[in-house]
């Protein structure tokens, strides 16, 4: 056989040049890609990540819907007719839900989907993990857009990995604190006047105390009394010592302090009744008692019992906490309770207390049961998100309330920062005679709050 070598034509030369340049560009992009992506994440997502995601969604939509059981087969009759008419052509494919255009969002994308007859949004919520895997994104959230239409939003990377905490904007409102950032990039706000009582759950070193620190740091400059119950010897809350109106560091002290707080709420109730108002906010400014935020770090230390004598103490603490939660919201007493577990194994009182704490924060937990106890009675679909928090993401949590659920990450407040904040605002620590009179060994600060300042 003879092979004829001929000089390449002009067209071929041109083609090989184009190919070479394309190959050089592609390999350059591959090499510099990770650096560019880290340096300019937004531009990277817009120019490369998002178009790639669009292609991926378009390619996988039909098999994905079929795989998740969201495709509806055509009528059997139609299949038979097409088999007869089509002469062995493949039968018509099952119908899949119609999808709108994939829209660009910061760090992600979203689109709308019309449900097929017989489908509910929950079917798509259940399919969300499969979508996230197929599209190689961090997470997919499904929400109802309007009846019959769901909105599917995907986030390429976890925005809480390296969050930028938005600054508090505008004047600080009483009992409202920015404690971190939500997954959407907006402020994570604790507003105790909106949701008065909170339960914060998480395994050891999941970020509970850090969240409490952020909350106390935000409350310290406000005219509120802070009361701590930290039965692990006060290790966590003593950082804020000078700014706390009272701090109980063991169970005996805690029981006395809680009893004093219950008495205080009863006095406030009298005050409101005499003035014929329904809560302390209806009172005149000069008569209104100072709001009290009661912080309990590690509820188990308060509830777990070893012997008979401890049983009465634990019972008393539980009863007082439930009482405070029931009466507190209207009377300016707010509860923030943190613990590793909130199961009924801690005692009979804990279930009643849990029911009273409307705001829920679930950090990484050791077992699914705890996540379920924290979030389940409010929001079953938040469970999945709570259980996928990794140990290295301390401070990341799922929040749930009657309004819905969200992922968020707290602001890391260092020990030095906490101490300097406590020292700076120590002069604001209110004088609470009720707590001082019941002085049962817990530390009480008697500096008077100068309201004229
Ligand atoms: N929001 C956060 N961002 C970064 N790191 C955090 C955050 N929250 C907690 N951590 C890290 O996790 C550690 C343990 O947190 P901590 O609040 O003491 O956990 P817990 O009270 O649940 O045992 C902290 O020392 C800190 O290093
Ligand atoms: Mg802790």
Whether 417 maps to a domain, the answer reads yes
Q: What is the pLDDT of residue 435?
A: 73
d(CA 44, ligand 2 centre) in Å: 39
Looking at the structure of the chain, the number of domains it has is: 2
d(CA 442, ligand 1 centre) in Å: 27
Is the domain of 243 the same as that of 134?
A: no
Q: What is the pLDDT of residue 80?
A: 65
pLDDT digits (tens, 9 = 90+) for 331-375: 999 999 999 988 878 877 888 898 899 899 999 998 888 888 888
Name the token pair of 261.
Answer: 């707080």
pLDDT digits (tens, 9 = 90+) for 365-385: 988 888 888 887 666 668 888
Mean pLDDT, range 227-249, rounded to an integer: 87
**277 membership: H or E segment, kind and range:** none
d(CA 395, ligand 2 centre) in Å: 11
In the DSSP assignment, the letter for residue 151 is E
Helices (H) and strands (E) in the chain, counts: 14, 16
- Spatial CA neighbour of 447 closest among 427, 422, 433: 427
For the cut 60, the answer to whether the pLDDT of residue 156 exceeds it is: yes
Where do we find the tokens 């994104």? 137
Is the domain of 413 the same as that of 375?
A: yes
Q: What is the pLDDT of residue 294?
A: 95
Radius of gyration of the CA atoms of the chain, in A = 29
pLDDT > 90: percent of the chain = 40
Is the domain of 236 the same as that of 122?
A: no
Name the token pair of 114.
Answer: 């019309």
Chain centre distance of CA 118: 32
Residue 200 CA: which ligand is closest? 1
Is the domain of 397 the same as that of 299?
A: yes
Q: What is the pLDDT of residue 449?
A: 38
pLDDT digits (tens, 9 = 90+) for 414-428: 888 888 998 999 888
Q: Which of 44-53, 65-74, 80-89 has the lowest mean pLDDT?
A: 80-89
- Spatial CA neighbour of 49 closest among 129, 155, 139, 153: 155
Q: Which domain holds residue 66?
A: 39-155
Considering only CA atoms, which residue is closest to atom 8 of ligand 1?
Answer: 395
For the cut 70, the answer to whether the pLDDT of residue 3 exceeds it is: no
Where do we find the tokens 């000089």? 7
Which CATH number does the domain housing residue 349 bear?
A: 3.40.50.300
Q: Is the separation of the CB atoms in 353 and 317 below 8 Å?
A: no
Q: Which atom of ligand 1 approaches the CA of 202 most closely?
A: 22
Is the domain of 229 the same as that of 91?
A: no
Whether 23 maps to a domain, the answer reads no
Residue 397 CA: which ligand is closest? 1
Is the domain of 181 the same as that of 300?
A: yes
For the cut 90, the answer to whether the pLDDT of residue 57 exceeds it is: yes
- Find out whether 287 is annotated in a ligand binding site: no
Highest mean pLDDT among 164-168, 228-232, 302-306, 432-436: 228-232
Q: How many other CB atoms sit within 10 Å of the CB of residue 195?
A: 18
For the cut 80, the answer to whether the pLDDT of residue 395 exceeds it is: yes
How far apart are the C-alpha atoms of 397 and 179, rounded to whole Å? 12
Q: What is the pLDDT of residue 166?
A: 65
Q: Strand pairing partners for 396?
A: 409
Put the strands of the sheet holding 359-362 in their side by side order. 187-191, 176-182, 404-410, 396-401, 359-362, 198-201, 333-339, 292-297, 225-230, 244-248, 443-444
Considering only CA atoms, which residue is closest to atom 2 of ligand 1?
Answer: 395
How far apart are the C-alpha atoms of 19 and 374, rounded to whole Å? 58
Secondary structure class of 15 (helix, strand, coil):
helix
Is the domain of 188 the same as that of 151?
A: no
For the cut 50, the answer to whether the pLDDT of residue 147 exceeds it is: yes
pLDDT digits (tens, 9 = 90+) for 188-205: 999 999 999 999 999 999
Is the domain of 389 the same as that of 263?
A: yes
d(CA 395, ligand 1 centre) in Å: 6
Ramachandran bin of 107, using left for φ above 0, alpha for ψ from -120 to 50, beta for the remaining angles: left
Whether 405 maps to a domain, the answer reads yes
pLDDT digits (tens, 9 = 90+) for 101-146: 999 998 899 999 999 999 999 899 889 989 999 999 988 989 889 9
Among 123, 155, 187, the domain-final residue is: 155
How far apart are the C-alpha atoms of 90 and 187, rounded to whole Å? 53
pLDDT digits (tens, 9 = 90+) for 75-102: 666 666 666 666 666 667 889 999 999 9
Averaged confidence pLDDT in the chain: 85
Among 101, 122, 155, the domain-final residue is: 155
Name the token pair of 190.
Answer: 């604790």
Ramachandran bin of 148, using left for φ above 0, alpha for ψ from -120 to 50, beta for the remaining angles: left
For the cut 50, the answer to whether the pLDDT of residue 452 exceeds it is: no
Residue 297 CA: which ligand is closest? 2
Is the domain of 189 the same as that of 323?
A: yes
For the cut 80, the answer to whether the pLDDT of residue 439 exceeds it is: no
Q: Is the separation of the CB atoms in 437 and 246 below 8 Å?
A: no
Among 98, 126, 155, the domain-final residue is: 155
Q: What is the pLDDT of residue 198?
A: 95
Name the token pair of 2.
Answer: 């003879």
Is the domain of 90 the same as that of 222?
A: no
Whether 452 maps to a domain, the answer reads no
- Find out whether 202 is annotated in a ligand binding site: yes
pLDDT > 70: percent of the chain = 87
Q: What is the pLDDT of residue 161?
A: 80
Ramachandran bin of 9, using left for φ above 0, alpha for ψ from -120 to 50, beta for the remaining angles: beta
Q: How many other CB atoms sit within 10 Å of the CB of residue 270?
A: 10
Whether 203 maps to a domain, the answer reads yes
For the cut 70, the answer to whether the pLDDT of residue 394 exceeds it is: yes
Is the domain of 94 the same as that of 243?
A: no
Whether 26 maps to a domain, the answer reads no
How far apart are the C-alpha atoms of 293 and 247, rounded to whole Å? 12
Is the domain of 143 the same as that of 183?
A: no
Whether 101 maps to a domain, the answer reads yes
- Which residues are near ligand 1 (CB < 6 Å)? 202, 204-210, 394-395, 409-410, 412
Q: Strand pairing partners for 188?
A: 180
Residues in the chain: 453
Q: How many other CB atoms sit within 10 Å of the CB of residue 147?
A: 7
Whether 1 maps to a domain, the answer reads no
Query: Which carries the bigger pLDDT value, residue 10 or residue 216?
Result: 216
Mutation probe of ligand 1 site: the residue of 209, 210, 398 with most atoms within 8 A of C-beta: 210
d(CA 410, ligand 1 centre) in Å: 9
Name the token pair of 169.
Answer: 């904007």
Name the token pair of 308.
Answer: 């008979």
Chain centre distance of CA 366: 17
Which CATH number does the domain housing residue 120 bear?
A: 3.30.980
Rounded to two decimals, the pTM is: 0.78
């Amino acid at each position: 056989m003879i092979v004829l070598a001929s000089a390449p034509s002009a067209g071929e030369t041109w083609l090989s040049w184009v190919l070479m340049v394309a190959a050089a560009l592609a390999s350059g992009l591959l090499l510099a890609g990770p650096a560019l992506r880290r340096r300019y994440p937004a531009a990277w997502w817009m120019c490369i990540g998002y178009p790639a995601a669009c292609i991926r969604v378009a390619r996988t939509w039909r098999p994905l819907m079929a795989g998740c059981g969201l495709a509806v087969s055509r009528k059997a009759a139609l299949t038979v007719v097409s088999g007869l008419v089509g002469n062995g052509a493949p039968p018509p494919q099952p119908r899949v839900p119609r999808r709108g255009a994939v829209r660009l969002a910061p760090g992600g994308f979203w689109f709308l989907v019309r449900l097929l007859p017989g489908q509910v949004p929950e079917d798509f919520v259940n399919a969300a993990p499969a979508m996230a895997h197929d599209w190689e994104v961090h997470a997919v959230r499904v929400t109802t857009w309007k009846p019959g239409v769901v909105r599917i939003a995907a986030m390429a990377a976890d925005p809480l990995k390296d969050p930028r905490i938005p600054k508090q904007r505008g004047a600080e409102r009483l009992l409202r604190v920015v404690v971190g950032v939500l997954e959407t990039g907006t402020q994570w706000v604790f507003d105790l006047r909106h949701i008065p009582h909170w339960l914060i759950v998480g395994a050891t070193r999941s970020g509970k105390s850090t969240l409490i620190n952020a909350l106390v740091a935000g409350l310290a400059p406000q005219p509120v009394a802070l009361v701590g119950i930290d039965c692990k010897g006060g290790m966590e809350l003593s950082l804020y010592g000078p700014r706390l109106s009272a701090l109980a560091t063991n169970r005996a002290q805690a029981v006395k302090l809680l009893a004093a707080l219950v008495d205080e709420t009863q006095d406030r109730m009298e005050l409101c009744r005499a003035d014929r108002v329904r809560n302390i906010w209806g009172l005149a400014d000069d008569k209104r008692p100072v709001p009290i935020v009661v912080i309990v770090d590690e509820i188990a230390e308060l509830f777990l019992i070893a012997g008979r004598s401890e049983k009465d103490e634990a019972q008393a603490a539980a009863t007082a906490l439930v009482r405070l939660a029931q009466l507190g919201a209207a009377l300016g007493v707010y509860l923030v309770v943190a613990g590793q577990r909130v199961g009924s194994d801690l005692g009979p009182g804990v279930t009643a207390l849990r029911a009273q704490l409307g705001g829920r924060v679930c950090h990484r937990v050791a077992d699914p049961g705890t996540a379920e106890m924290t979030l389940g009675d409010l929001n079953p679909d938040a469970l999945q998100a709570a259980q996928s928090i990794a140990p290295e993401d301390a401070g990341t949590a799922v929040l749930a309330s009657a309004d819905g659920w969200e992922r968020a990450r707290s602001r890391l407040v260092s020990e030095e920062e906490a101490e300097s904040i406590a020292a700076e605002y120590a002069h604001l620590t209110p004088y609470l005679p009720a707590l001082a009179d019941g002085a049962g060994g817990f530390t009480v600060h008697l500096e008077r709050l100068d309201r004229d300042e």
